[in-house]
Amino acid sequence: MKKNTSNWQEFIKGIYKENPVLVSTLGLCPTLAVSTQAINGISMGLSVIIVLTFSNLIISLIKDYVPSNLRIPSYIIVIATFVTILKIIIEGFFPTINKSLGIFIPLIVVNCIILGRAEAFASRNNPLKSVLDGIGMGIGFTIVLTTLSTIREVLGNGTITLKIGDIGTIIDVGPLYKLLGLVDDNGEKAPLVFFLLPPGGFLVLGFLMGTINYLQRSIKLNLGFIKRRVNKNGK
């Protein structure tokens, strides 16, 4: 593991440089499953941030006491504990979120982002860095999930749902469809349900991955170019 990285770097890497979904391709299963409505992306992302932060903290604290052959079962128990507690809290205080996310909350247990970060980071770093890593990775996951689900919902249903229960609103992007001429015979907006189905999810995710790869590569190239330039002038 790299040493001497600053706390800020540990936090920010999950959002861009080592984004769990777009760069490390972790946690694709919940990503594709819940990203059909904007609000689902946001609430799933927040749940993952909470679980990831706490499990990273605890795993980093107990790492010295857990023998290497028992680490996976131990980590899974820690993660499952936090997910179960989260599920109980959501059931008690946010019944509407519980209704819309249903099965996906318990499935956070087997979300490979959380086990992946426990294994690759929290079990080798101190608690502070592990917490920062957890928050950063969680935010990165949330951003991707929200972007993906917003794109899919706009293309597939013509709306942006930002509503839980009676709170919030549903934005209708029908006027945008009409502006672009994407209407059916009755003059109503005609969204492509394809984008709400799994193939559409893969397609949008692929485009997002391509975009971030292109960005990262072109930035790297430009940086190298500038560096060489500076070196040349220096000589």
Partner 1 sequence: MVGVNMKQNNYILIIISFLSGLLISGFYYFLFDKIETVKKETRIQLQKSFFPEAQFFEEVNKDTIIVKDKNNDIIGYVVYGSSNKGYGGNINVIVAFDNNGNIKDFLMIEHNETPGLGTNVNKEYFRKGFIGKPPLKEELPLSKDEFITKLGIYPVSGATYSSLAVSYALIDAGIKLFKKDYGEDNTLSEEYNEWDDIFFFMNN
Q: Does 55 bind partner 1 (CB under 8 A)?
A: no
Q: Shortest Cβ distance from residue 116 to partner 1 (Å)?
A: 20
Q: Does 29 bind partner 1 (CB under 8 A)?
A: no
Q: Shortest Cβ distance from residue 133 to partner 1 (Å)?
A: 21
* DSSP string for residues in 140-152: HHHHHHHHHHHHH
User: Among residues 80, 86, 102, which one has the least CA distance to residue 34?
Assistant: 102
The distance between the two most distant Cα atoms of the chain, rounded to a whole number of Å, is: 70
Return the HEC string of 106-131: HHHHHCHHHHHHHHHHHCCCCHHHHH
Residues in contact with 60: Cβ distance below 8 Å, sequence separation at least 6, in sequence order: 122, 123, 125, 126, 127, 129, 130, 131
Q: Which of 128, 183, 197, 226 binds partner 1 (CB under 8 A)?
A: 197
Q: How far apart are CA 115 and CA 110, in angstroms?
A: 7
Burial class (CB in 10 A: 0-12, 13-18, 19+), 110: middle
User: Between 150 and 189, how does the x/- string for binding to partner 1 read (CB under 8 A)?
Assistant: ---x--xx---x----------------------------
Q: Shortest Cβ distance from residue 157 to partner 1 (Å)?
A: 7
Q: Does 226 bind partner 1 (CB under 8 A)?
A: no
Q: Shortest Cβ distance from residue 217 to partner 1 (Å)?
A: 33
Q: Does 231 bind partner 1 (CB under 8 A)?
A: no
**Judged by CB, which is closer to partner 1: 88, or 128?**
88
User: Among residues 152, 159, 144, which one has the least CA distance to residue 208?
Assistant: 144
Where does this chain bind partner 1 (CB under 8 A)? 33-34, 36-37, 40, 62, 65-70, 73-74, 77-78, 80-81, 84-85, 88-89, 91-93, 95, 99-103, 153, 156-157, 161, 193, 196-197
